[in-house]
């Protein structure tokens, strides 16, 4: 079989050749041949040099001085002639020096780029190490592309793709660059492949997932990057704006023409009313405007600024102990003095951990028994218990983080935590590759379901079982890999967005199940991870730490309330379990099942006894060794009668170095600005961990408000009409800044009834209302700055930050704050 794709050596050889050719083409276009038209003069494109207008003023002035220096006998003094010639030559030298300075800047970029390229090519490794291909893809930040290199599938940074590379376009993924599929479909960067609709096998009712499509790269992404970097102009600083305003606006356009006009007008009047023997009756009248205007031109200004810049740079480089002389081409003093804010455009691996860590563990618990309630029966005394977990970075930063319970007496809940930890071991991160394929499928499904998004809320949680007490060999009795992997989802439209959450979308309802056979028993173990709404539909019982108890409506409502709250501010995962006695037919392997919207929830009445034995579970419609051949049979046998184990809440933790960096920036009066790609609630939770103010009137959403499409409106109306009447979760707005600041709901007191524990925090959900009427959307920022105030420039948190909106907002801040 022929090897697919190209080798790493060939890819990087092409990449270096293209990069070198791009740099040389840019140099010949902009420096040697000067074929590229210059950028028109504007407030955003200028330097500290004189423009053509002021040099024209200078030469006209010198011409008038030369004419005025000639006496009535047509003779000129030698001293005046030397002075005029010197000034005229100086103006020519200034213009020539300015042109050379501009060319030197372009030449410096050319030499620096070639030097860096030669260094990379010389020190390039002989062994190529690529990132793992089993990381779940998300919309937030994707910088790598699945590619065939050296005959294997690896993850290659998009900028390092070479022409001829064979890439895999996953379902729902946009093209990372210009490419062409093997069927001849050409795609531009940012376009999506119009794949065929997902097919459903009629006999079994399972959905056949879309496969990744192979495409050949037809361009070099590094070429566009190099063109952008080489042609990018330095942003003007505050001192540049002030100098531009004084020299090119006040002097050139106002003061010099006004003084020149007054001098000419006064000289004309003196010439008309003076006798022939006075100076104003001779050619000296031409020298008067020149003498009045010439001091205002300040011809030595560019030279003076250059000398001052060199002196300042020398002191700064000496203080910072830097020896790179090429850095001195920049005005380091003005650059460092103009730094008033630092923009951070991403957090994963920069400000926070690469993956979220466990923050809370939520489960069903029973109050501690006392002599007064030992004889009580029923499950009305059950409540939701929350254990907070804290993360601490190890001394060796490459060793990861260590987790621990904040409650020192957490061992009393060990019976509640053991099934949860065991479930995580069975459905662990070793199944990431299968879950990634399932997530790709959900990405396509979510495009047709209003207000939903495929979220990778299932992350590595292997550290939690070790904390609870499980060892590495505790899974020896279970078959590995699992005998079956089942992915289920429901096309349920997302909740209506909360006021103020422009781009909020609900995670699509899904469940990812693994089935492991047990050599010590006759049944298999099904471990289910997914969204709470769908998992709870399959649960009839819960584990309270001692026995299996039926779920009642109060507990289900409480669990859903917790899930909705924490899924808005972070990642929340529901975990359930059940024993199974049936096996999956081969025709269903590798396919996914869609749970019908009208499927009734399998809820157990509260009149059922508090616990069920193992034999009872076997008698609930379960037939031993039955082969499941249709999706309905799988749903009925695998997705009913689950035992709820708990919820796992995950959050991104701020790196200690990041928090220290924010504190140091505040200490030197540099304001940190955080651009988050997530919604307001998630962004504010992490911003507060960093130490950035994110309360009332301190955040702006860069997403423009969009009117819902007609299809979404019809789908929403039909869905709402079919739903039972109940209190809408989105109506629970924040009551105060302190409530939304916490966004938590713990069991406050053990003496209170469980119902009170839940009701005390049911209204702590929602964004802070935009009482200050700050603009929403990056397109409304400039009108707000021009017509209202400059508050958007003082905000430290921007949410819903897409790449283009983020770039535009940074440009607005750089321009407006320097003026």
Final residue belonging to a domain, choices 651, 669, 704: 651
- Predicted confidence at residue 549, as pLDDT, reads 92
pLDDT of residue 189: 87
Answer yes or no: do 522 and 632 share one domain: yes
Q: What is the pLDDT of residue 198?
A: 66
Tokens 């929340």 map to which residue?
572
Residues forming a β-bridge with 627: 583
Rounded to a whole number of angstroms, the CA Rg of the chain reads 36
Of 190-194, 653-657, 741-745, the least confident: 741-745
Q: Are residues 478 and 606 in the same domain?
A: yes
Q: What phi and psi, each to the nearest 5 degrees, are found at residue 244?
A: -60, -40
Which of 548, 776, 572 has the alpha carbon at shortest distance from 642? 548
Task: Provide the pLDDT confidence category of residue 718 given band limits of 50, 70 and 90.
Answer: very low
* pLDDT tens figures, 493-548: 877 766 656 567 888 999 999 998 887 777 888 999 999 999 999 999 999 888 99
Question: Domains in the chain: how many in total?
Answer: 3
291 and 392 belong to one structural domain:
no
444-460 average pLDDT score = 85
φ and ψ at 50, to 5 degrees? -75, 145
What is the C-alpha separation between 389 and 600, in angstroms, rounded? Answer: 36
The confidence score (pLDDT) of residue 269 equals: 80
> Which residue, among 251, 590, 260, has the nearest Cα to 441 in the 3D structure?
590
128 and 346 in contact (C-beta within 8 Å)? no
175: helix, coil or strand? Answer: coil
pLDDT at residue 757 is higher than 50: no
Confirm whether 739 is domain-assigned: no
> Does the residue 493 lie in any domain?
yes
Q: Is the pLDDT of residue 760 over 50?
A: no
C-alpha–C-alpha distance, residues 174 and 161, integer Å: 15
- Asked if the structure places residue 142 within a domain, the reply is no
- Residue that terminates a domain, selected from 651, 673, 700: 651
* pLDDT of the residue at 275: 64
In this prediction, residues 394-406 reach a mean pLDDT of: 77
646 and 662 inside one domain: no
Position 329 scores a pLDDT of 65
Greatest mean pLDDT among 279-293, 485-499, 571-585 lies in: 571-585
Span of 167-181, 319-333, 344-358 with lowest mean pLDDT? 319-333
pLDDT score at 573 = 93
Torsions phi, psi for 478 (to 5 deg): -105, 145
CB atoms within 10 A of CB 459: 17
- Whether residue 774 contacts residue 697, with contact meaning beta carbons closer than 8 Å, is answered with yes
3-state class (DSSP) for residue 298: coil
Mean pLDDT is highest, among 319-323, 483-487, 529-533, 731-735, for 529-533
Tokens describing residue 592: 């996914």
Mean pLDDT, to the nearest integer, of 33-60? 60
Please state, in angstroms and rounded to a whole number, the distance separating the CA atoms of residues 545 and 14.
Answer: 62
- The highest-confidence range among 239-243, 390-394, 556-560, 701-705, by mean pLDDT, is 556-560
DSSP class of residue 806? Answer: H
End-to-end Cα spacing for the chain: 64
- The C-alpha angle with vertex 42 and arms to 796 and 54, in degrees rounded to 5, equals 130
Residues 627 and 689 in one domain: no
pLDDT of residue 316: 83
Query: Higher-confidence residue: 790 or 709?
Result: 790
User: In angstroms, rounded to a whole number, what is the distance separating the alpha carbons of residues 257 and 223?
Assistant: 47
- pLDDT given at position 794: 86
* Nearest alpha carbon to residue 560 among 741, 445, 551, 489: 551
Q: Is the pLDDT of residue 580 over 60?
A: yes
Q: What distance in Å separates the CA atoms of residue 106 and residue 117, rounded to the nearest whole number?
A: 17
582 and 678 inside one domain: no
**According to the model, what pLDDT value does residue 428 have?**
83
Pair 632, 672 in one domain: no
Q: For the ranges 66-80, 418-432, 666-680, which has the lowest average pLDDT?
A: 66-80
**Is 628 contained in some domain?**
yes
Q: If you ran DSSP here, which 8-state letter would residue 578 be given? A: E
Which pLDDT belongs to residue 134? 54
pLDDT at 735: 37
Task: Examine the pLDDT at 216 and tell me if it is beyond 90.
Answer: yes
pLDDT at 260 over 50: yes
Q: Give the whole-angstrom CA distance, residue 621 versus residue 607.
A: 20
Residue 375 pLDDT > 50, yes or no?
A: no
Residue identified by tokens 């702590």 is: 764
- Torsion angle in degrees (nearest 10) through CA of 785, 786, 787, 791: 20
Show Cβ contacts of residue 813 under 8 Å, excluding neighbours closer than 6 positions.
341, 343, 673, 793
Q: pLDDT tens digits for 189-215?
A: 888 887 766 666 666 778 888 888 899
| Mean per-residue pLDDT over the chain, rounded | 77
- Cα dihedral: 248, 249, 252, 257 (round 10): 180
Where residue 641 falls (left for φ over 0; alpha for ψ -120 to 50; beta otherwise) is left
Q: Say yes or no to pLDDT of 755 above 50.
A: no
For residue 6 the two structure tokens come to 């190209």
| Domain identity same for 551 and 686 | no
d(CA 800, CA 798): 7
> Which is higher by pLDDT, 676 or 57?
676
Distance CA 148, CA 131 (A): 13
The Cα 657–Cα 344 span in angstroms is 14
> Is a pLDDT exceeding 60 seen at residue 370?
no
Q: Residue 548 falls within a domain, yes or no?
A: yes
Alpha-carbon gap, residue 784 to 809, rounded angstroms: 13
Enumerate the β-bridge partners of residue 565: none
Q: Does 64 map to a domain? A: yes
Judged by DSSP in three states, 659 sits in: helix
**632 and 667 both lie in a single domain:** no
- The residues near 626 (Cβ < 8 Å, ≥ 6 apart) are 581, 582, 583, 637
Residues recorded for the chain: 819
Report phi then psi at 818, rounded to 5: -90, -10
DSSP string, 46-99: --SS--HHHHHHHHHHHHHHHHHHS-TTS---HHHHHHHHHHHHHHHHHHHHHH
Domain containing residue 701: CATH number: 3.40.50
The pLDDT value recorded for residue 680 is 84
Instruction: Give the lowest-confidence range in 56-70, 111-125, 423-437, 649-663.
Output: 56-70
Q: Determine contact, residues 388/359, Cβ cutoff 8 Å.
A: yes
Which residues neighbour 425 within 8 Å (Cβ) at sequence distance 6 or greater?
Answer: 462, 465, 470, 474, 475
The answer to whether 390 and 369 have CB atoms below 8 angstroms apart is: no
Tokens of 478: 């279970």
Say if residue 479 is in the same domain as residue 610. yes
pLDDT at 379: 61
Closest CA to 693 of 768, 785, 745, 773: 768
Which segment of 13-22, 135-144, 545-554, 605-614 scores lowest on mean pLDDT?
605-614
pLDDT of residue 41: 42
Q: What is the DSSP letter of 4?
A: P
Report how far residue 13's alpha carbon sits from residue 117's, in angstroms, rounded to the nearest whole number. 12
Same domain, 262 and 277: yes
Other Cβ atoms within 10 Å of 273 Cβ, number: 10
Helix axes 78-122, 301-320, angle to 10 degrees: 40
CA dihedral sign, ordered 150, 153, 159, 162: positive
Q: Is residue 184 part of a domain?
A: no
Mean pLDDT value of segment 567-571: 87
* Mean pLDDT calculated for residue range 337-348: 79
For residue 481, whether the previous peptide bond is cis, meaning omega lies within 30 degrees of 0, is yes
* Helix residue spans in 514-613 (DSSP H): 532-538, 553-569
Collapse the DSSP code of 289 into the 3-class scheme (helix H, G, I; strand E, B; otherwise coil) and give the result.
helix
Q: pLDDT at position 51, please?
A: 66
| Secondary structure (3-state) at 147 | strand
What domain range is 669 assigned to?
A: 341-351+654-733+769-818
Per-residue pLDDT reduced to its tens digit, 217-254: 999 999 988 888 887 776 777 777 777 788 877 887 88
The pLDDT value recorded for residue 572 is 92
Tell me, yes or no, whether 139 lies in a domain.
no
CATH code of 587's domain: 3.40.1110
At residue 394's C-alpha, the angle toward residues 391 and 395, to 5°, is: 150
Please check whether residues 536 and 452 belong to one and the same domain: yes
* CA–CA distances in Å: residue 299 to residues 223, 224, 304: 41, 40, 10
How many Cβ atoms sit within 10 Å of the Cβ of residue 455?
A: 23
Whole-structure pTM value: 0.76
Nearest to 767 by CA among 654, 684, 656, 643: 684
Identify the domain boundary among 651, 672, 703. 651
CA distance 175 to 587: 32
Q: How far apart are CA 311 and CA 502, in angstroms?
A: 51
Can you tell me the distance from the alpha carbon of 444 to that of 170, in angstroms, rounded to the nearest whole number?
10
Q: What is the mean pLDDT of residues 38-55?
A: 55
Q: Over the range 137-167, which residues count as b (16 or more CB within 10 Å of their CB) and which as e?
A: beeeeeebbbbbbeeebbbbebbbbbbebbb
**From CA 374, how far away is CA 369, in angstroms rounded?**
6
Pairwise CA distance, residues 492 & 506, whole Å = 10
Integer angstrom CA distances of residue 152 from 130, 134, 136, 180, 334: 11, 14, 19, 20, 50
β-pairing verdict for 166-169 and 213-217 = antiparallel
Question: Which residues, 6+ apart, have CB-to-CB distance to 134 below 8 Å?
Answer: 432, 433, 436
Paired with 363 in beta bridges are: 385
Task: Specify burial of residue 718 (Cβ count, 10 A radius: 0-12, 13-18, 19+).
Answer: exposed
pLDDT at 362: 94
């Amino acid at each position: 079989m022929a090897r697919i794709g190209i080798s790493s050596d060939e890819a990087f050889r092409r990449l270096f050749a293209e990069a070198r050719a791009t740099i040389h083409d840019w140099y010949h276009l902009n420096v040697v041949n000067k074929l590229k038209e210059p950028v028109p003069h504007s407030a955003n494109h200028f330097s500290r040099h004189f423009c053509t207008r002021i040099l024209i003023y200078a030469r006209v002035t010198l011409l008038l001085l030369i004419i005025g220096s000639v006496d009535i006998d047509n003779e000129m003094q030698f001293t005046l002639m030397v002075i005029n010639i010197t000034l005229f030559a100086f103006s020519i030298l200034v213009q020539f020096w300015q042109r050379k300075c501009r060319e030197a800047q372009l030449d410096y970029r050319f030499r620096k780029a070639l030097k860096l390229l030669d260094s990379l090519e010389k020190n390039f490794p002989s062994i190529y190490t690529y990132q793992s291909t089993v990381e779940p893809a998300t919309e937030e930040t994707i910088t790598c592309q699945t590619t065939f290199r050296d005959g294997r599938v690896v993850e290659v940074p998009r900028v390092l793709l070479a022409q001829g590379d064979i890439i895999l376009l996953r379902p729902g993924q946009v093209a990372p660059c210009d490419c062409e599929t093997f069927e001849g479909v050409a795609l531009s960067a940012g376009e999506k492949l119009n794949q065929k609709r997902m097919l459903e096998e009629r006999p079994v009712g399972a959905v056949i997932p879309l496969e990744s499509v192979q495409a050949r790269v037809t361009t070099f992404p590094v070429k566009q990057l190099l063109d952008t970097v080489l042609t990018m102009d330095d942003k003007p600083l505050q001192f540049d704006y002030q100098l531009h305003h004084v020299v090119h606006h006040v002097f050139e356009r106002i003061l010099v023409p006004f003084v020149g006009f007054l001098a000419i007008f006064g000289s004309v009047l003196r010439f008309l009313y003076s006798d022939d023997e006075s100076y104003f009756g001779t050619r000296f009248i031409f020298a008067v405007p020149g003498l009045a205007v010439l001091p205002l031109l300040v011809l030595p200004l560019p030279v003076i600024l250059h000398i001052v810049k060199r002196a300042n740079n020398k002191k700064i480089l000496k203080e910072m102990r830097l020896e790179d002389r090429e850095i001195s081409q920049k005005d380091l003093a003005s650059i460092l003095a103009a730094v008033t804010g630092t923009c951070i455009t991403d957090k994963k691996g920069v400000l926070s951990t690469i993956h979220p860590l466990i923050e809370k563990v939520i489960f069903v618990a029973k109050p501690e028994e006392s002599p007064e309630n030992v004889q009580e029966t029923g499950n009305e005394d059950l409540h939701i218990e929350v254990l907070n977990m804290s993360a601490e970075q190890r001394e060796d930063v490459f060793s990861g983080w260590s987790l621990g319970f904040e409650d020192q007496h957490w061992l009393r809940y060990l019976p509640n935590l053991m099934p949860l930890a065991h479930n995580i071991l069975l459905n662990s991160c070793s199944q990431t590759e299968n879950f990634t394929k399932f997530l790709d499928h959900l990405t396509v499904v979510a495009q047709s379901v209003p207000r939903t998004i495929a979220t990778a809320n299932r992350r590595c949680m292997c550290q939690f079982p070790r904390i609870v007490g499980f060892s590495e060999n505790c899974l020896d009795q279970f078959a590995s890999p699992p005998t079956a992997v089942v992915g289920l989802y429901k096309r349920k439209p997302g909740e209506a967005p909360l006021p103020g959450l422009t781009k909020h979308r609900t995670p699509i309802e899904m469940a990812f199940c693994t089935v492991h056979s047990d050599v010590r028993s006759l049944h298999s173990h099904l471990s289910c991870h997914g969204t709470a709404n769908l998992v709870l539909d399959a649960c009839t019982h819960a584990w309270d730490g001692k026995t299996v108890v039926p779920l009642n409506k109060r507990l289900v409502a409480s669990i859903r309330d917790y899930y909705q709250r924490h899924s808005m501010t972070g990642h929340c995962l529901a975990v359930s379990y059940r024993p199974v006695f049936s096996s999956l037919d081969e025709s269903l392997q590798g396919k996914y099942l869609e749970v019908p919207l009208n499927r009734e929830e399998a809820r157990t009445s509260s009149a059922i006894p508090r616990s069920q034995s193992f034999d009872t579970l076997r008698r609930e419609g379960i037939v031993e060794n039955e082969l499941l051949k249709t999706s309905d049979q799988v749903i009925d046998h695998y997705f009913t009668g689950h035992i709820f184990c708990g919820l796992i809440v995950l959050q991104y933790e701020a790196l200690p170095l990041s928090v220290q960096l924010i504190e140091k920036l505040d200490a030197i009066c540099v304001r940190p600005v955080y651009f988050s790609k997530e919604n307001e609630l998630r962004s504010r939770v992490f911003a507060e961990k960093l130490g950035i103010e994110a309360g009332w009137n301190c955040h702006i959403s860069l997403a423009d408000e969009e009117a819902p499409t007609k299809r979404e409106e019809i789908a929403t109306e039909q869905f709402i009409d079919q739903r039972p009447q109940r209190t809408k979760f989105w109506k629970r707005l924040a009551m105060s800044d302190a409530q939304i600041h916490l966004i938590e709901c713990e069991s406050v007191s053990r003496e209170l009834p469980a119902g009170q524990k839940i009701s005390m925090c049911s209204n702590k959900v929602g964004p802070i209302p935009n009482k200050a009427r700050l603009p929403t959307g990056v397109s409304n920022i400039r009108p707000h700055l021009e017509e209202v105030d400059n508050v958007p420039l003082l905000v430290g948190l921007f949410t819903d930050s897409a790449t283009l909106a983020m770039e535009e907002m940074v440009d607005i801040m750089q321009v407006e704050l320097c003026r």
